Structure 1
Amino acid sequence: MDALSYLFDWKTFLLLGAIFVPLEHLFGMHPEQKHLRRGWMLDLIYATFNGAIIKIGSMLLIYAGIVAGRLMIPEFVRAAVGSQPYWIQVIEVLVIADIGFYLIHRAFHTFPALWKFHAVHHSIEELDWLAANRVHPIDQILTKAGSLIPCFALGFSEAALVTYAVIYQWHAILLHSNVTVRIGPLRWLLASPDFHHWHHSDHREAYNKNYAGQLSFLDVLFGTAHMPDGQPTKYGCSDNVPETYGKQLLYPFRQILLRRRRRTSKADILSTGS
């Protein structure tokens, strides 16, 4: 039972379902979408098996960040950061972590090798609360590391970091859910489902937009915000991503290897021609 709980936090999963399924029914962004929509079983498999891989990988990278922080950042700085009032630390962690998230997320969209890992997440064609789980482990590990290593290195308190982790988990589910949340002008400050759905949309004008995780003002600041009136009508990406869990885990590596072979073949042809 302990091993199963480590792999799959079923209590949290059931709680999330009990909250978000009714919300999607009452306030659906796309009310015509079925609860058992395309790909829901695949996303359930991700929710079941991805947890342990991501936890182990993230812990190793974060531990490396803690060690590096102790070596590079003076102890008096770490002590000053950790002694701040709890609520100030939470706000600072949210800002620092989301800047890291924004930069890593943008890198996954910019560099072809990284995109192959992130394309797995963007292969989702219908979004709901369960869709947030479809993330390649390498994608999630690097994203978590980029977000949290600076926070651990700076010496923020455990309470502030745990609070951020809870906010991040629940907010990520909300962003992917099939729920419309109207927050008026605050949409330019805080990320909402409407904001993140445009990031997942297959609309050319929305490509490479809305990278932030919690704070949409980062996209406003860096010129990547896209929040028109209305909702997307099409989701997904142009990559031919496989439709099974195992093949999706292998997909990025196969694509990178294939690209290297093509480069090698092209170089050989050019060399022979000369």
Structure 2
Amino acid sequence: MSNLIDFKAILVIALIFLPLERLLPLHAEQSPTRRHWLNDVVYLVFNGILIKTGLLVVIGVAMLAAHRLVPDSLTAAIQSQPVWLQAIEVLLIADTGFYLAHRTFHAVPFLWRFHSIHHSIEEMDWLAAHRVHPVDQILTKSASFLPVFALGFSSSAILIFTLVYQWQSLLIHSNTRIRFGPLKWLLASPQFHHWHHANQREAYDKNFAGQLPFLDMLGGTLFMPDRMPEKYGVDDPVPHLYHQQLAYPFVANAAALAPRELASETPRER
């Protein structure tokens, strides 16, 4: 039954984003069946199993220790708040965790091997948002969700954040020219996140937040000019098939995967 529900969700998402990308395209020449789209379908269908399993293990083990560290009085105070306020707090805490983890994946060469899979996207769309190595996703999501679970936020508040995060993640990767106007400084938009994926020197290691651009403003990593990127992807030798990409971080040449700021003599290697 859970698999059936997942496939229904996939169908709903496709029925929303496929027409949206045709009606308001950023790159009108880009086809829904662009290069490597079948590989990203594999990620969409199968990657969730590995990620959910890993999250259950990592967060489950961490929570055993966290419950001993968080006072019951703090948990009670958090749970006494209205759900809407808890949801805002969850967003702030979770996206701060995401920002820090995401920035670390760019800065540490071994972790970049996993994250480079996601940055190998050369044509942005809603489907490509799913191309994320399970290790990358498990650790990054753990950094987001562990603090809010440990502090005892209500399941309703966490669910609200999860739904907003999932839909916004698809939107910011999508091949759409949707602009947020003044809200672009408050909420992550396609304009904000497309620059994070840009294979252009000026945009390297920018825009790490998942939902709140002001975190990048505070961290000195915000880059959001009015124009859109000309090129996406990485120069790392990332293979094109799902099973090869799963293995790639463990067999890749470490010298070819240094973070960009540590590899100034090589083209777009991070």
TM-score for both structures, normalised by structure 2: 0.92
Task: State the distance in 2 between where 1:93 and 1:65 align.
Answer: 18
- Provide the residue aligned with 2:209 in structure 1: 212
CA contact (8 A) 2:25 2:177 kept: yes
Is 1:33 the counterpart of 2:30 in the alignment? yes
Counterpart amino acid of residue 176 in structure 1 = H
CA deviations on 1:132-157 (whole Å, 9 max, x unpaired) are 11000000000110000000000000
Counterpart amino acid of residue 54 in structure 2 = G
- Provide the residue aligned with 2:21 in structure 1: 24
- Provide the residue aligned with 1:229 in structure 2: 226
Deviation of 1:67 (Å): 2.0
CA contact (8 A) 1:65 1:150 kept: no
Deviation of 1:3 (Å): 7.0
Deviates more, 1:184-193 or 1:143-152: 184-193
Q: Which runs of 5+ in 1 are unaligned?
A: 260-274
CA deviations on 1:39-90 (whole Å, 9 max, x unpaired) are 1101000011101110010111122232222100101101111121000000
Counterpart amino acid of residue 216 in structure 2 = D
2:198 to 196, 201, 204: 201
Task: State the distance in 1 between where 2:148 and 2:3 align.
Answer: 30
Question: What does residue range 1-274 of structure 1 map to in structure 2 within 5 Å?
Answer: 2=1, 4-5=3-4, 9-255=6-252
Task: State the distance in 2 between where 1:3 and 1:223 align.
Answer: 42
TM-score for both structures, normalised by structure 1: 0.90
Q: Which runs of 5+ in 2 are unaligned?
A: 256-270
2:240 is paired with a residue of what secondary structure? coil
CA contact (8 A) 2:179 2:190 kept: no
Task: State the distance in 2 between where 1:170 and 1:91 align.
Answer: 16
CA deviations on 1:145-201 (whole Å, 9 max, x unpaired) are 000000000000011111111111111111110112222222111100110000001
CA contact (8 A) 1:123 1:236 kept: yes
CA contact (8 A) 1:101 1:213 kept: yes
Task: State the distance in 1 between where 2:231 and 2:48 align.
Answer: 29
Q: RMSD across aligned C-alpha pairs, in angstroms?
A: 1.3
Deviates more, 1:208-217 or 1:182-191: 182-191
CA deviations on 1:184-237 (whole Å, 9 max, x unpaired) are 222111100110000001011000000000001101111101101111111001
Identity level (%): 54
CA contact (8 A) 1:65 1:152 kept: no
Task: State the distance in 2 between where 1:171 and 1:3 align.
Answer: 23
Q: Cα 1:3–1:88, aligned 2, differ >3 Å: closer, same or farther?
A: closer
Counterpart amino acid of residue 84 in structure 1 = Q
1:9 is paired with a residue of what secondary structure? helix
